[in-house]
Chains A and B, each alone.
Chain A
């Protein structure tokens, strides 16, 4: 069986006939070629595949493409606007919130979710908010700094 799906990704509509078993992450990466979103564990644990579905963070390795039919998806490629990088991208860069960068797209999308729910989180809340995302390089300290920095710039704070 193939099922028609129509998904708006980063503001652009894509229509494809897909097998129901196709995972959203494979639609994004392999069918549409948007390779910013990564697959780390493929078992719902590491968060490197995190995207926003209708503005809310989800692990795209644990979602079927057909479940996103008619919905709007944002991937890391969709965060930067015409006026440059998203504040989270800027602060991950400035605060060295990455080394190899493999976890970074998911980490930034999960941070986006965290700041959506809690625009001014404490360090503890940042750590809890990112508990579904693994980083094998940084030791997390600079990721926490980056998110704090982005929260500061988004709320016009002092950082």
Chain B
């Protein structure tokens, strides 16, 4: 398959990339290319030019600074999955990144491209929403930070505006009384998420849950918080019975016409089994608390 013709510019800095985007309004950013190149080959996208940000090394890092883990947009899924910092402080993110596609896909695909593309079947949007991440965007009207709830606007649509570049994602660090996990019903052929459930739990010294965050992806256009599940968990000791009964409330978050279905898994089926993945994510997150 041959992509349509386009021009190509390689940026060596974020400022240069922003200038190139301003100069070529029909251009698209190219990061790892693992969502964009397939689209180009299928001719579902036909930008006049690509601005390749793939060599801007300053966008490839995972750093802890004052209560936040700041992850550069070009950090690959393989780097997320193997980061000791993420594995210990934002376990669900490292876990989800390690479940993306296959090793070669994880070597090239980036966190920034994954969330900017905002495919409903992607894994990282739900996890980042669950962990309360903030998205740093530059270009256009200057720098701004966008909360996850405002960042994912809908099906393949985000708050990144025309001419803007996502530079990094800030994930709040958690103390050792917190545990997080991601559970995924992977499509057996594509390995994308049919259902993805992310959970983050905080417990006090007595092992009682003080805060719960549960987010679903895969079966909805943009990540959805399961607030009824969260509320049911607070105050419990996160034992198997409490987790099972809270997970049973998953459907309340999915009580909309928005649930996605396809020839592999219908919306009704996904809605009814989602609680199983919520329960699995909660059980692992609870086991990681403390």
A residues at B contact (CB < 8 Å):
1, 3, 19-21, 23, 42-45, 47, 50, 56-59, 62-64, 66-67, 69, 110, 113-114, 117, 129, 131-133
Contacts and interface: CB of A to CB of B under 8 A. Distances in A.
Nearest to B54: A67
B289 interface: no
24 contacts: A1-B7, A20-B8, A21-B5, A21-B6, A21-B40, A43-B1, A43-B41, A44-B37, A44-B105, A47-B102, A50-B104, A56-B107, A57-B103, A59-B104, A62-B37, A66-B8, A67-B54, A110-B104, A113-B104, A131-B103, A132-B101, A132-B103, A132-B105, A133-B102
Contact of A62 (B7, B8, B34, B189): B34
Contacts of B105: 44, 59, 132
Nearest to B191: A131
Contacts of A66: 8, 10, 52
Contacts of B33: 62-64, 67
Nearest to B7: A1
A129 B103 contact: yes
Which of A58, A62, A113, A117 neighbours the largest number of chain B CB atoms within 10 Å of its CB? A62
Given A43-B1, A44-B34, A132-B105, 5 more contacts: A20-B7, A20-B8, A47-B102, A67-B52, A129-B103
Nearest to A131: B102
A63 B36 CA distance: 10
Q: How large is the interface on B (under 10, 10 to 19, 20 to 34, 35 or more residues)?
A: 20 to 34
Contacts of A67: 30, 33, 52, 54
B264 interface: no
Which of A3, A19, A20, A23 neighbours the largest number of chain B CB atoms within 10 Å of its CB? A20
B190 A45 contact: yes
Contacts of A21: 2-6, 40
B38 interface: yes
A151 to B, nearest CB: 16
Contact of A42 (B1, B40, B108): B1
B73 interface: no
B96 to A, nearest CB: 16
B50 interface: yes
A20 B50 contact: yes
Contact of A47 (B4, B104, B107): B104
A62 B38 contact: yes
A45 B104 CA distance: 10
Interface in B149-189: 189
Contacts of A129: 103
A69 B6 CA distance: 17
Which of A45, A67, A110 neighbours the largest number of chain B CB atoms within 10 Å of its CB? A67
B189 to A, nearest CB: 8
Given A20-B6, A66-B8, A117 B103 contact: yes
